[in-house]
Amino acid sequence: MAVISDHFVSRISLGTKMETIVRDSRLTGFAIRARRLADSSISKVYFVIVEDRATGTTRKRRKITIGDSNRFTADEAREVAAQMLQAHAMGDDPARERKEKKEAPTFNDLADSFVKHYLPTKKARTAADYAERIERRLRPEFGKDKVAAIDAKAVRDFVKAGKGRPTDTNRALAVLSSMMSYAMEEEMRRDNPCLGVRRYKETARDAWIDDLDMPAFLEALENAPLPYADLLRFLVITGWRISEARELRWDVVDLRRGVIRLSDTKTGAQDRQLSEDAATIIKRRSHVAGFVFSKTGRTMLDAKHINAVLKQVCLSAGIEVITAHALRHTAATWSALAGAPAFELRDTFGWSTLAMANRYVSKAERLARRGVERTASAINVLRRPENTFNGQNEKNLESQ
For the segment 73-77, the average pLDDT, to the nearest whole number, is: 92
Measuring CA to CA, how many Å separate 8 from each of 2, 14, 49, 74, 290?
Answer: 8, 13, 20, 9, 76
Question: Which candidate, 111, 116, 100, 119, places its Cα nearest to that of 137?
Answer: 111
Across 5-19, 64-78, 137-151, 158-172, least confident range? 158-172
Position 386 scores a pLDDT of 58
| Same domain assignment for residues 46 and 171 | no
Give residue 277's pLDDT band: very low, low, confident or very high (50, 70, 90).
confident
Residue 392 lies in a domain: no
The DSSP output letter for 289 is S
Residue 332 has pLDDT above 90, yes or no: no
Parent domain of 247: 214-358
Any idea what the CATH number is for the domain that residue 173 is in? 1.10.150
Q: Please state, in angstroms and rounded to a whole number, the distance separating the CA atoms of residues 303 and 149.
A: 38
- Please tell me whether residues 269 and 351 are part of one structural domain: yes
Q: Are 141 and 264 part of one and the same domain?
A: no
126 and 94 co-located in one domain: no
- Would the pLDDT of 151 be above 90? yes
Domain count, the chain: 3
Residues 45 and 97 in one domain: yes
Is residue 36 located within the same domain as residue 76? yes
pLDDT digits (tens, 9 = 90+) for 287-323: 888 898 888 888 888 888 998 999 888 888 888 888 8
Distance CA 163, CA 151 (A): 19
In this structure, the answer to whether residues 276 and 338 fall within a common structural domain is yes
The pLDDT, as a whole number, for residue 194 is 92
215 compared with 400, residue with greater pLDDT:
215
Instruction: Look at the pTM and tell me if it is higher than 0.75.
Output: no
> Which is nearest to 359 in space by CA: 339, 332, 398?
332
Task: Note whether 189 and 180 are within 8 A (CB).
Answer: yes
Q: Which of 47, 68, 103 is the last residue of a domain?
A: 103
pLDDT value of residue 24? 92
Phi, psi of 50, rounded to the nearest 5 degrees: -120, 160
**Which of 71-80, 138-147, 373-382 is predicted least confidently?**
373-382
The answer to whether residues 31 and 166 belong to one domain is no
| Span of 165-174, 266-275, 342-351 with lowest mean pLDDT | 342-351
Looking at the fold, whether 272 and 344 belong to one and the same domain comes out as yes
Start-to-end C-alpha separation, the chain: 82
Kindly state the percentage of the chain with pLDDT values over 70: 76
* φ/ψ of residue 20, rounded to 5: -150, 150
List, in sequence order, every residue forming a beta bridge with 253; answer none if it has no partner.
260
Summarize the confidence of residues 158-166 as an average pLDDT.
80
Q: What average pLDDT does the chain have?
A: 79
In a domain, 26, yes or no: yes
